[in-house]
A and B are shown apart, each in its own frame.
Chain A
């Protein structure tokens, strides 16, 4: 296969880019460090004193020794609620349990008692969606206090709110995906259904509780005075009610039991090996910061990025001399085949139809697709419109939407406007979507937004002519809004992606994602490839 040759390994631009990028990465790490503390030192200590294990340590115990854990949306709810709900109070991700990749959903009881906020539910649902799509058994490490009542209107009633999580559990179980719960703490009201709707349940003696109504509600409703342990303790549920299937003396024992349960699943779907021996790229992925820099307006050749992600820097480029602003080609990542579409400038009609053609190829060949987004949008202007950019870009969007192979997106730069659609943005439901710390996600950049809005104001017929001061104020407001809302942190806090990753982690993250899916690419029929 052809090998990409890098041209930008050193030089002053490269060095400047690299040090600027290091600043972005340091911010990301600082924020990750912050959320790793969970509910803070004091609450962590109290948690431990009660014989309870911190949430990420529970996961370390649960998964196979030193195996990978693909944590999702660690910065969910970042900067929301006074930044007091780190990781939205729930750790989700994919980890190997007894050799089986499982979706793991684990409440952090040190964060607001593990209560469900809007983002908690969204993150919970997203992990379930990933499990469903990738056919992964689900393990719930439950330690939660139900809905956060002050936010109940954003948690409880809607389609994608709390009820949706139970709906997903039921549907996944019916689809043959095991649902396993270990109950470490309280599961009250709605929370009770996470274990109750699981296929198998383990409860920890002394701390695990399941009740539809806790002691205060019982007292209020039927005037019965009862303690929590009698009402819904692990021992009662394991020996009397049968709500729980296994009683564990300690948290560690409960985690061991979950491992035993997964080991006994006889889960056959994971038994596959990568199609090819993986090889490191020829160029160090650590150089990616120096390649892309922090200024989205500064162009670079996206092949420099591909060369630092794919096996052996090998890239079989499709239609290299046509529609050159969209680079398409076949490659391997950690031994998994993948088709890559990567922006190399604004999308023209040629680039759009080339992309559509390439997606058809991937679909026909059962090759998963990776979108590397760095896009300001489709070309505008008379020439473009006369050339039919609307219908040609629509072809790309159509192909993206209907590809049957797994699709993955990494936002490596700008993700603006219709470009976001054509390059498989969140709305097009890629299997996973990650962003780099330099990413920007919005309908348009702050510059253009300001121009558009101030021009609209100037042209307004219903209002009197705008003063320069008013235009300046509008310009400032719009810029501030777009700048704030287009940061990757604003996006990841709201679960518009599955997490922010350091650029050099892209190869490993994609290797893990592709390995989950490629076993099930077994499409019933082939489709024709329409030359466009």
Chain B
């Protein structure tokens, strides 16, 4: 077996691959771009080699840079991970030339499954049907109608040269076809300069199913059951599970047979995944494509089979036979994976970036993560931060464990999809195992919005937690920092009160925290007292309200409290009211009076009573000693009075304009 391995990837998958290497005693080499110098996968590896600047095109996507790094580090083998170079034939070819082991299938396998049309032809020859369709040269309306009838309605008419939805038409009956073809041709002509069309069977409620296969260099091929990855957004998988729920036994067998048939046809010699599409409730899975690499969602298969798939990859690449044959592969239980990405699920999954200031994994479920506290999330790469995998005897247990684990999982910093994932897991459609790729629009027709069920408690708890520790920055530790809220008159009601201004989600609101004589803290917001009691132990917090106990995690960072409650991250800025007021007027002396700094003649008055002025706005121009001086407002507010007129001679110190500061009582 190999003794050293370079992982030509980053993030969670690089770490996950290196974990197996570590267990097998294989020396690990990481590669990194400039953006990843301090990334977890670099810290995790035995050795790391820089491969270029931050953009992937100039680093992780450069086969030459990877090969050079492997040469420099003396790595015997290269693992491509997923994405980047994993499905290009370059690395296996270059490895062959350089005498290194490529941990993946042969270049031929990769090349065979790369092209969309070519792979379908190979599948067809192996007896594996793809989505029925017509992509012939005869574009006559008669021929197209005939083909559509053969395929069976509903069908999708698409521009052959197309993409991006233009020139696409859904046709549900023969009677609609002629008109649809006409429109689609015109759109295709206009958009791509080519009116030719193709026709495909329209799958209305597709399930995305895939089969994990493995082959070795000795001609053996096995499958490790299927996965259901129907929950997707923008064609990106979100939740994946194994085995597929609510799948007829015969359909299941068909899936496995077809996957094996295709893998055999191309002499597939490592781990790969054959993807299928299945109309919900139908029994004929159609081949979509084959992924000639390790999948993001491989852990669910590991969970139900008990194998380490990366270990398999390495052993197969080293020339070993498959560790077990088909009759030795058993499944047990159920597993579900959730992909945690740095995205705003409430804003169309817009990627978010920033520094992870707090990070805590749940201990109850498997987590494959590429980040730690302090990691920088950039927009250069995929937004996947970590994967959480819940596994159990039944699907219900796996689902419940995963949801509970996600609620315990705290990532403070950039927005993550954590709370969306919990809502998705708990939605009845997913809970019943009825998800199709339309799941998100079915489950959240108006778009997903976080349920801010505990926002009032979160704000109050944040205030209590922020004030729980001694004031930071004082550096001193004495009774003065420890005996917080102490008052001799407290038992008589003369208690310590701190007035805070909190800001969250662009809103500001006031909170008052009172320290009672018995040490109890009370919080008041604009509605009155917030009935909570908070206990904390390190980062872990318990918020008790109305006889319910909510568990969460807390972290403070630069005047902000970050708190998870009910699976949602609340990011709340907290400052003493007095500091907010002082900050708002920083830099000015607070005077709304504009005075003549020297004797002179008023050249121009640029404001009138009632005008709203901003700090720095010129209000009067004074001519003095042949020089024009612009006099500016030092506060923002409304002009309360003007005491001068153009041409007037004024002495030094005369008040020229008075501004009523904004927000003054």
Indicate if B493 sits at the interface (CB-CB under 8 A).
yes
Alpha-carbon distance A509/B500, docked complex (angstroms): 27
A113 within 8 A of B: no
Cβ–Cβ contact A512 & B590, under 8 A:
no
Whether A512 pairs with B665 at a CB distance below 8 angstroms is: no
- Of all chain B residues, the one with the shortest Cβ separation from A515 is B478
Determine if B478 and A239 form an interchain contact, defined as CB atoms under 8 angstroms apart. no
Residue on A with the closest CB to B470? Answer: A67
Is A33 on the interface with B (CB-CB < 8 A)? yes
Residue-wise, chain B 484-498 has the 8 Å CB interface mask toward A (1 for contact) of 111111011110111
A2 lies within 8 A of chain B by Cβ: no
The 7 closest A-B pairs by CB, nearest first: A256-B582, A32-B492, A99-B474, A511-B479, A68-B486, A51-B665, A515-B478
Pick from A60, A249, A501: contact of B664, CB below 8 A. A249
Pair B582/A68 contact, Cβ less than 8 Å: no
Docked complex Cα distance between A276 and B494 (Å): 31
Q: Which of A247-300 contact B (CB under 8 A)?
A: 247-250, 252-253, 255-257, 259-260, 270-274, 278
Q: How far is the CB of A76 from chain B (nearest CB, A)?
A: 13
- Cβ of B576: which chain A residues have Cβ within 8 Å of it? 61, 65
- Chain B, Cβ-Cβ closest to A32: B492
Tell me the complex Cα distance, A261–B222, Å: 76
Per-residue interface assignment for chain B, residues 582 to 619, with 1 indicating a CB less than 8 Å from any chain A CB and 0 otherwise: 10010001111101000000000000000000000000
Neighbour of A515 across the interface among B480, B499, B578, CB < 8 A:
B480
A330 in the interface, Cβ–Cβ < 8 Å?
Answer: no
Which residue of A36, A60, A240, A273 contacts B498 across the interface (Cβ within 8 Å)? Answer: A60
Establish whether residues B578 and A205, one from each chain, have CB atoms under 8 Å apart when the complex forms: no
A387 shortest CB reach to chain B, Å: 42
**Are B592 and A249 closer than 8 Å at their CB atoms?**
yes
* Given A66-B515, A249-B635, A33 and B486 contact (CB-CB distance below 8 Å): no
Jot down 5 A-B pairs with beta carbons below 8 A, ordered by A.
Answer: A60-B496, A65-B471, A66-B498, A249-B635, A515-B480
Our pick among B481, B488, B494, B498 for the contact of A505 (Cβ within 8 Å) is B488
Q: How many A residues face the partner with a CB closer than 8 A?
A: 62
Q: Does B581 contact A (CB under 8 A)?
A: yes
Q: What 0/1 pattern do residues 405 to 446 of A give for CB contact below 8 A with B?
A: 000000000000000000000000000000000000000000
Of residues A66, A99, A240, A334, which shows the largest number of chain B Cβ atoms within 10 Å of its Cβ? A66
Q: How far is the CB of A390 from chain B (nearest CB, A)?
A: 38
Distance between Cα atoms of A420 and B648 in the complex (Å): 75
A9 CB-CB contact with B under 8 Å: no
CB distance from B480 to the nearest CB of A (A): 5
Q: Is A24 an interface residue (CB 8 A)?
A: no
Complex CA–CA separation, A316 to B576 (angstroms): 44
A270 to B471, CA, bound (A): 14
Complex Cα gap A512–B513 (Å): 22
Distance of A183 from chain B, by nearest CB (Å): 14
A334-B482, A511-B479 given; 20 more Cβ-contact pairs under 8 Å: A25-B491, A32-B489, A33-B493, A61-B576, A66-B485, A67-B484, A68-B484, A68-B487, A74-B488, A74-B489, A205-B590, A238-B591, A247-B590, A249-B635, A253-B585, A259-B579, A271-B476, A273-B478, A509-B488, A516-B480
Q: Which of B515, B590, B592 has its CB near the most chain A CB atoms (within 10 A)?
A: B590
The answer to whether B482 touches A278, judged by C-beta atoms less than 8 angstroms apart, is yes
Q: Report the separation of the CA atoms of residues A246 and B492 in the bound assembly, to the nearest whole angstrom.
A: 36
B464: nearest residue on chain A (CB-CB)?
A66
Specify which of A249, A255, A499 is in contact with B590 (CB 8 Å cutoff): A249
Kindly state the separation between the CA atoms of A253 and B493 in the bound complex, as whole angstroms. Answer: 27
Indicate if the CB atoms of B480 and A36 lie closer than 8 Å: no
Q: A256, B479: Cβ atoms under 8 Å?
A: no
B585 contacts A32, CB within 8 Å?
no
A69 close to B (CB within 8 Å)? yes
Q: Flag if A71 contacts B476 (CB, 8 Å).
A: no
Q: How far is the CA of A515 from the CA of B476 in the complex (A)?
A: 11
| Residue pair A240, B590 in contact (C-beta under 8 Å) | no
A64 contacts the other chain (Cβ, under 8 Å)? yes
A512 touches B483 (CB 8 A): yes
Is the beta-carbon distance between A257 and B582 smaller than 8 angstroms?
A: yes
Determine whether the beta carbon of A36 is less than 8 Å from that of B497: no
Q: Is B528 an interface residue (CB 8 A)?
A: no
Contact residues in A for B590 (Cβ distance below 8 Å): 205, 246-249, 253, 257
B361 CB-CB contact with A under 8 Å: no
A60 in contact with B488 (CB, 8 Å):
no
Q: Which of B476, B578, B593, B664 contacts A99 (CB 8 A)?
A: B476
Bound-state CA distance A66–B522 (Å) is 12
State A481–B493 Cα separation when bound (angstroms).
Answer: 33
For B513, the chain A residues whose CB sits under 8 A away are 65-66
Residues of A near B592 (CB, < 8 A) are 205, 249
**How many Å from the CB of A180 to the closest CB on chain B?**
15
